[in-house]
Amino acid sequence: MIQNAWLIPLLPLAAFVILLLGGRQLKQAAPVIAIASVAGAFVLSSVVLMERIGGDTFAATVRWLTIGPVDVTMGFEVTALNSLMLFVVTAVSLLVHIFSKRYMAEDGRIHVFYGYLTFFTFSMLGLVLAPNLLQLFIFWELVGLCSFLLVGFWYFKKEAADAAKKAFLVTRIGDVGLLVGLVLLFNATGSFEYGAAFAAVEAGEVSGTMVTVIALCIFLGAVGKSAQFPLHVWLPDAMEGPTPVSALIHAATMVAAGVYLVAVTYPLFLASGTALTVVAYTGAITAVFAASIALVNTDIKRVLAYSTVSQLGLMMLALGTAGYVAGLFHLMTHAFFKALLFLAAGSVILALHHRQDITRMGGLWHRMRTTAVTFLIGTLAIAGIFPLAGFWSKEAVLAAVWANGDVVLITLAALTTVLTAFYMFRLFFRVFAGTYRGDVEAPAENGKTVTVPLIVLAVFAVTAGFVHFPLNGYWLEGFMTAGLNYGDQAHGGLGLAAVSLLLAAAGAGLAWRLYGKGEESGMQEKVPAVHHLLENKYYIDEIYAAVIVRPLMTLSRLFVEVDRWIIDGAVNFTGAITFRTGRQAGKQHNGQLQTYGLVSVAGGIALIAAVFAVRGYFG
Amino acid sequence: MTGNLLSVLVFLPLAGALILLMLPRENHGLIRSMAGGTALLTLGVSLFAWSRFDGAASGMQLGESYPWIDFGMAAVRYELGVDGLSMPLLVLTTVIAAIAVLASVKITERVKEYFVWMLVLTTGLLGVFTALDLFLFFLFFELTLIPVFFLISIWGGKERNRAAFKFLLYTGLGSAVMFVAFIALAFTGAEAAASAQASFNMIVLADMFANPAIPEVLGTAVRAGLFAAVVLAFAVKLPVFPLHTWLPAAYTQAPVPVTMILAGVMSKMGAYGVLRVGYGILPDQAATFAAVIAIFGVINIIYGACLALVQTDLKMLIAYGSMSHMGIILLGAASYTQAGMQGAIFQMVSHGLIAALLFFIAGALYERTKTGALSELGGLSRSVPVLAGFMLAAAMASLGLPGLSGFVSELLAFMGIFGAGDLIPAAAVIGIIGVIGMILTAGYLLIAVQRTAFGEMKEQFKGLPDVRPGEYVPLIGLLGLSILIGVYPNLLSDIINTTVIDIITRAGG
């Protein structure tokens, strides 16, 4: 099967083509076709992962573009990293596809929705299978397109259309960085292929400065895609998309592509201490920054969105502190528990007829038991409570940061742990504890297509951590680093585990004290200035509008005036004179053709005469 | 069989035009079929020429050469030929021309005249891309301008006279400079080669100017002046800032099919002229001027994109966007690298397809909504979902989404400029400014999409007809070709690679 791994993305692509061409006729069959294709991809991915664990590997390429003597190729390669990613992506995608059948059932364009969703799955799988940076970029842009289409799925809502545009433009800033990075890498090493390019870097063929520049350009792409500070602004707005989209694209897979990108180009970062430090600090700052905004937000999806930004920051932090396995391990566990949290949130939103304001929730524990329990499992997992998946992966991240030894980073990581537990439990209590404050009559569960994906993801959220824990000798590490020379991976001990549990418990306990009854805490009155700052997301959007958008528009309008008055003014002036001269010279012929001929020929002859006189041809 | 293939190709539309002249004026159906048939046949012949073209071979192919006019001091020959630079443009021309002719269903006045001019225009364009003699090239070049002037001034929009006049004024300037430049090239070339008779043959001239002794015969200033004149002459057509203000007027006032040809093919005449005549005959000067060309390239990109950002009319937005994208050609060419030069040619083809597609869609929207004002449009994804879908796809193609042709050309052009550090000081800075243009491009195109397709459906746009069967031809044809090149760019690079290697080698030697 591993030789045919290219079939995995093609299955959802086939479904996309069918839905694109025949969607309107298919209507009810559309979800079934999409689910079947992704189920197929999931089965194949599982087989490929098993074979990869068994030690098989495979790579193939075809010629794509010839530049002088250089052939640029496309193809696929199955590595430890991407076989794992194939599994995670298809697993989450399959569950989201199933979940969406009910979630989107009332939407008249459900076939379009499934079309986009399958195209996204295709693109994301293509991204992880890519054996070179150019091919990765191609699919990187395609997942961005899908994100745009799905955030703006309800394009008739202004908020959705604006959010889609914002998502596209902000990530494009990063994409442009990545493009420059890969162009520079090609110019420096003569190849887009990971292996060949990194070999050239490791052999010292590229100057240290250039490696740093390339790594930072590539990282800019990751910052955009993974919504890291200061390009994080698009992700919370992207919550305008349907919730299954938020779960799949804006929590589990696409936004993690930035982390994946840093991981696949890791040799470049290892070769540049500066780049590695930038990654670590960006991640750490983002982690705390986003978590702090999540403390006060009252939209169930936006809290989770800021949480995602924060958790992606932790992954970056791990990669930046040489925790290659830790970062990717956390990527994997996060994919499961965050998809779970989003889908559970979706279940709540569906039950409340698309209300997302947590001040109008509460008391849902008794009304939606499955959703509540699975949401609690997700909350425990992300807070890092033993022995759920998040505990082990966060443990690995903290171990890497601890081993790195930078006090600032350690402090930020610890702070993030407290904040994460706090805002997640706040969210849990506000939604499920106390009494129901909403206006929708008798909210209740939405049936098996909704709850079954929740239960499956909850199982993953509990167990996924056991691929990498002391009792199996940190199995994941052996699998992922075989044949790679990415340095020793740090492991936490009992002490670190105890401290991190204490930090999480502190956050959760504080949330229980303040929000345990599901009601407002009164923080707004106690620290109004802080609350205001956080509620307004540190005014980043406003700053961008003032510093970038408005000056750009002013400049553009200035150009319009330049065009109209200066350039066109000169033209019209010349035109008027020529036209008058032409009139006088050819009074008998007033037709436009004559004018035309006159302008060109007379002007031409005059110039020829001048030139030839100077050059002496007539002399 | 292939002896006079290029002549057949070039004059086939003209023959069709002559036959049209003999048809009865009132029989629109017959006129349309005749014109459409001629355009399709021409497309077929160009594809046949493509199949006969050997991408691996250097130099001109399918050549024809006959003595024509002997002025004594100068000889003009009728000479045609194609290489990897002109072959793709030849096919692009016939594709766009055929689609434009087929898309002319809305022309109902003076039908016969209209199609005659369209076919004459096609012959002119094909002649420009095949002529190897500067004199012949000039004649074909002029032959394209007259039909366009009439097509705008007779069948154009409300402001057609102003637009046509502006077009004429700029073009007159360009032609005058070109004429002088060509004459000067021929005679200075002859002087340099100590030849009694001047030749207008581009290949011969290139060899004359490649003579290592040339700096002694012709000073740097003369050669620089010649190169500058050639570039100036073609810069109008491209257009290059600040010679661009004819563009928005002409693109928005011309009837849609004519705009498709203007933006799709005629702007490429300018780029082609710069490469064929400027780079072809004076490669050393092209290298000297590399930084200047690159700077004008980024100015075009940024200035055009900024203007597009604040337009209030869809067609104007696309027009300025089109101008912005021409900067990519300059940027790639300026780099004088294998990748950059290939990117320039890719961009000519890609932009030809995408600009034509965008203008076709804008025209189709205008025809339905009767407005081009972005503030009045909106919600069209509801009323005309398929057309809005094509608009989205075209916008994505234009902003360089991978999988579509624009991405390949931008990638190559930027590979070129970032790799041109030896030739251009601060090439990286120019490259960075260029890629910022890519962000702005996404900005104005998404504004266009949002303002037209997104939002609540407007009452007055309820029940508008979606894409008609006949409209699928341009939509699928143009988008399909863009996807084809984007997914498998070797289709194109296999044709142009060898020629580009030759261009780069000549600059080095």
Contacts of A550 (CB under 8 A, 6+ apart): none
Q: Which of A149, A559, A590 would you mutate first to test chain B, the one with the most B CBs within 10 A? A: A559
Decide if pLDDT at A569 tops 90.
no
Whether residue A187 and residue B415 make contact (CB cut-off 8 A), yes or no, is yes
Average pLDDT, chain B: 92
Partner residue facing B493 (CB), from A65, A161, A557: A65
Whether residue A67 and residue B497 make contact (CB cut-off 8 A), yes or no, is yes
- Which 390-419 residues of chain B touch chain A by CB within 8 A? 396, 401-403, 407-408, 411-412, 414-415, 418-419
The alpha-carbon gap from B65 to the nearest alpha carbon of chain A, in Å, equals 28
Q: What is the mean pLDDT of residues A499-505?
A: 95
Partner residue facing A604 (CB), from B180, B242, B489: B180
Partner residue facing A138 (CB), from B303, B402, B500: B402
Partner residue facing A168 (CB), from B307, B446, B490: B446
Task: Report the domain count for chain A.
Answer: 3
Beta strand B74-82 pairing with B198-199: parallel
Q: Is B179 on the interface with A (CB under 8 A)?
A: yes
For residue B449, the enclosing domain spans: 289-509
Pairwise CA distance, residues B131 & A419, whole Å: 72
Predicted confidence (pLDDT) per residue in B451-498, tens digit: 999 988 888 888 899 989 989 999 999 999 999 999 999 999 999 999
Identify the band that residue A599 occupies on the pLDDT scale cut at 50, 70 and 90.
low
**Cα A75 → chain centroid:** 23
User: CB atoms < 10 A from the CB of B330, how many?
Assistant: 29
- Is residue A403 a part of any domain in this protein? yes
Closest alpha carbon within chain A to B504: A68
Q: Which residues of B touch A603 (CB under 8 A)?
A: 172-173, 176
- Which 483-522 residues of chain A touch chain B by CB within 8 A? none
Q: Which of A109, A149, A155 would you mutate first to test chain B, the one with the most B CBs within 10 A? A: A155
**Across the strands, what pairs with A193?**
A132
Identify the band that residue A291 occupies on the pLDDT scale cut at 50, 70 and 90.
very high
For residue A299, the enclosing domain spans: 157-536
- Is residue A223 a part of any domain in this protein? yes
Decide if pLDDT at A319 tops 80.
yes
Contacts of A21 (CB under 8 A, 6+ apart): none
Pairwise CA distance, residues B437 & B304, whole Å: 9
Pairwise CA distance, residues B175 & A602, whole Å: 11
Q: Which of B160, B169, B391 would you mutate first to test chain A, the one with the most A CBs within 10 A? A: B169
Q: Which residues of B touch A165 (CB under 8 A)?
A: 446-447, 450
Give the Cα-Cα-Cα angle A130, A135, A139 (nearest 5 degrees).
90
Partner residue facing A560 (CB), from B184, B307, B379: B307
Partner residue facing B245 (CB), from A559, A567, A608: A567
Q: Is B438 on the interface with A (CB under 8 A)?
A: yes
Whether residue B309 and residue A552 make contact (CB cut-off 8 A), yes or no, is yes
Q: Which of B71, B411, B499 would you mutate first to test chain A, the one with the most A CBs within 10 A? A: B411
Q: What is the DSSP string of A311-358?
A: HHHHHHHHHHTT-HHHHHHHHHHHHHHHHHHHHHHHHHHHHTTS--BG
Whether residues A572 and A503 share a domain: the answer is no
Whether residues A429 and A567 share a domain: the answer is no
Whether residue A168 and residue B146 make contact (CB cut-off 8 A), yes or no, is no
Collapsing DSSP to helix, strand or coil, B283 comes out as helix
Identify the band that residue A619 occupies on the pLDDT scale cut at 50, 70 and 90.
very low
Whether residues A487 and A559 share a domain: the answer is no
Pairwise CA distance, residues A87 & A94, whole Å: 10
Side-chain-side CA neighbours of residue B381 (13 Å) = 21
Q: Is B432 on the interface with A (CB under 8 A)?
A: yes
The alpha-carbon gap from A244 to the nearest alpha carbon of chain B, in Å, equals 22
Question: Encoding tokens for residue A161?
Answer: 């259309």
Closest alpha carbon within chain A to B306: A556
Pairwise CA distance, residues A314 & A259, whole Å: 10
Predicted confidence (pLDDT) per residue in A510-560, tens digit: 999 999 888 887 778 888 888 889 989 999 999 999 999 999 999 999 999
Contacts of B469 (CB under 8 A, 6+ apart): none
Collapsing DSSP to helix, strand or coil, A62 comes out as strand
Q: What is the pLDDT of residue B169?
A: 82
Whether residues A492 and A552 share a domain: the answer is no
- Is residue A122 a part of any domain in this protein? no
Whether residue B307 and residue A568 make contact (CB cut-off 8 A), yes or no, is no
| First-to-final CA distance of chain A | 83
Q: Is A398 on the interface with B (CB under 8 A)?
A: no
Decide if pLDDT at A612 tops 60.
no
- Is residue A414 a part of any domain in this protein? yes
User: What is the residue type of A219?
Assistant: F
CA trace torsion B204, B209, B210, B211 (10° rounding): 100
User: What is the residue type of A162?
Assistant: D
Q: Which residues of A touch B145 (CB under 8 A)?
A: 596
Q: Is A20 on the interface with B (CB under 8 A)?
A: no
The answer to whether B34 touches B78, Cβ cutoff 8 Å, is: no
Pairwise CA distance, residues A176 & A482, whole Å: 33
Whether residues A493 and A582 share a domain: the answer is no
Whether residues A544 and A502 share a domain: the answer is no
Predicted confidence (pLDDT) per residue in A154-165, tens digit: 999 999 999 999
Q: What is the DSSP string of A553-618?
A: HHHHHHHHHIIIIIIHHHHHHHHHHHHHHHHHHTTT--SHHHHHHIIIIIHHHHHHHHHHHHHTS-
Q: What is the pLDDT of residue A589?
A: 46
Whether residues A481 and A604 share a domain: the answer is no
Q: Which residues of A touch B396 (CB under 8 A)?
A: 145
Q: Check residue A15 and give left, alpha or beta (phi > 0: left; psi -120 to 50: alpha).
A: alpha
User: What is the residue type of A522?
Assistant: G
| Largest separation between any pair of C-alpha atoms in chain A | 105
The answer to whether A376 touches A337, Cβ cutoff 8 Å, is: no
The alpha-carbon gap from B367 to the nearest alpha carbon of chain A, in Å, equals 23
Whether residue B411 and residue A176 make contact (CB cut-off 8 A), yes or no, is no
Helices (H), A130-264: 133-151, 158-189, 194-202, 208-225, 234-237, 243-247, 257-264
Beta strand B198-199 pairing with B61-70: unpaired
Q: What is the pLDDT of residue A456?
A: 97
Chain pair A-B, CB pairs under 8 angstroms: 173
Collapsing DSSP to helix, strand or coil, B80 comes out as strand
Predicted confidence (pLDDT) per residue in B67-116, tens digit: 988 887 888 899 999 999 999 999 999 999 999 999 998 888 899 999 99
Q: What is the pLDDT of residue A602?
A: 55
Q: What is the pLDDT of residue A618?
A: 39
Q: What is the pLDDT of residue B182?
A: 93
Whether residue A596 and residue B396 make contact (CB cut-off 8 A), yes or no, is no
Contacts of A139 (CB under 8 A, 6+ apart): A123, A124, A126, A127, A130, B402
Predicted structure pTM score:
0.93
Q: Which residues of A touch B439 (CB under 8 A)?
A: 169, 172-173, 176
Q: What is the mean pLDDT of residues A59-88?
A: 93
Whether residue B418 and residue A184 make contact (CB cut-off 8 A), yes or no, is yes
- Is residue A38 a part of any domain in this protein? no
Predicted confidence (pLDDT) per residue in A367-412, tens digit: 999 999 999 999 999 999 999 999 999 999 999 999 999 999 999 9
Q: Is B306 on the interface with A (CB under 8 A)?
A: yes
The answer to whether A170 touches A50, Cβ cutoff 8 Å, is: no
Pairwise CA distance, residues A445 & A455, whole Å: 13
Whether residue A593 and residue B497 make contact (CB cut-off 8 A), yes or no, is no
**Across the strands, what pairs with B131?**
B80
Phi, psi of B194 (to 5 degrees): 50, 45
Whether residues A273 and A319 share a domain: the answer is yes
Q: What is the mean pLDDT of residues B129-133?
A: 96
Question: Encoding tokens for residue B4?
Answer: 């006079």
Whether residue A595 and residue B153 make contact (CB cut-off 8 A), yes or no, is no
Whether residues A385 and A237 share a domain: the answer is yes
CA trace torsion A358, A362, A365, A366 (10° rounding): -140
- Is residue B13 a part of any domain in this protein? no
Whether residue B146 and residue A603 make contact (CB cut-off 8 A), yes or no, is no
| First-to-final CA distance of chain B | 36
CA distances from B80 to A528, B12, B135, B440 (A): 79, 15, 12, 41
Decide if pLDDT at A588 tops 60.
no
Closest CA to A421 of A291, A527, A298, A287: A291
- Is residue B491 a part of any domain in this protein? yes
Q: Which residues of B touch A66 (CB under 8 A)?
A: 490, 493-494, 497
- Is residue A139 a part of any domain in this protein? no
Phi, psi of B232 (to 5 degrees): -60, -45
Q: What is the mean pLDDT of residues B5-34?
A: 94
User: What is the residue type of A486?
Assistant: Y
Whether residues A515 and A609 share a domain: the answer is no
Helices (H), B131-262: 134-155, 160-192, 202-210, 214-217, 220-235, 246-253, 256-261
Decide if pLDDT at A578 tops 80.
no
Pairwise CA distance, residues B283 & B296, whole Å: 18
- Is residue A202 a part of any domain in this protein? yes
Q: Which residue has the higher pLDDT, A284 or B69?
A: A284
Decide if pLDDT at A445 tops 70.
yes
Decide if pLDDT at A583 tops 80.
no
Identify the band that residue A596 occupies on the pLDDT scale cut at 50, 70 and 90.
low
Q: What is the pLDDT of residue B509?
A: 43
- Is residue A96 a part of any domain in this protein? no
Q: What is the pLDDT of residue A592?
A: 54
Decide if pLDDT at B188 tops 90.
no
The alpha-carbon gap from A553 to the nearest alpha carbon of chain B, in Å, equals 7
In chain B, count H helices and then E strands: 23, 3
Whether residues A213 and A240 share a domain: the answer is yes
Identify the band that residue B162 occupies on the pLDDT scale cut at 50, 70 and 90.
confident
Task: Report the domain count for chain B.
Answer: 1
B61-70: strand order across its sheet: B61-70, B74-82, B198-199
Pairwise CA distance, residues A233 & B26, whole Å: 62
Partner residue facing B435 (CB), from A169, A176, A611: A176
The alpha-carbon gap from A286 to the nearest alpha carbon of chain B, in Å, equals 24
Whether residues A482 and A566 share a domain: the answer is no
Q: Which residue has the tokens 């750490």?
A: A284
Pairwise CA distance, residues B483 & A313, whole Å: 36
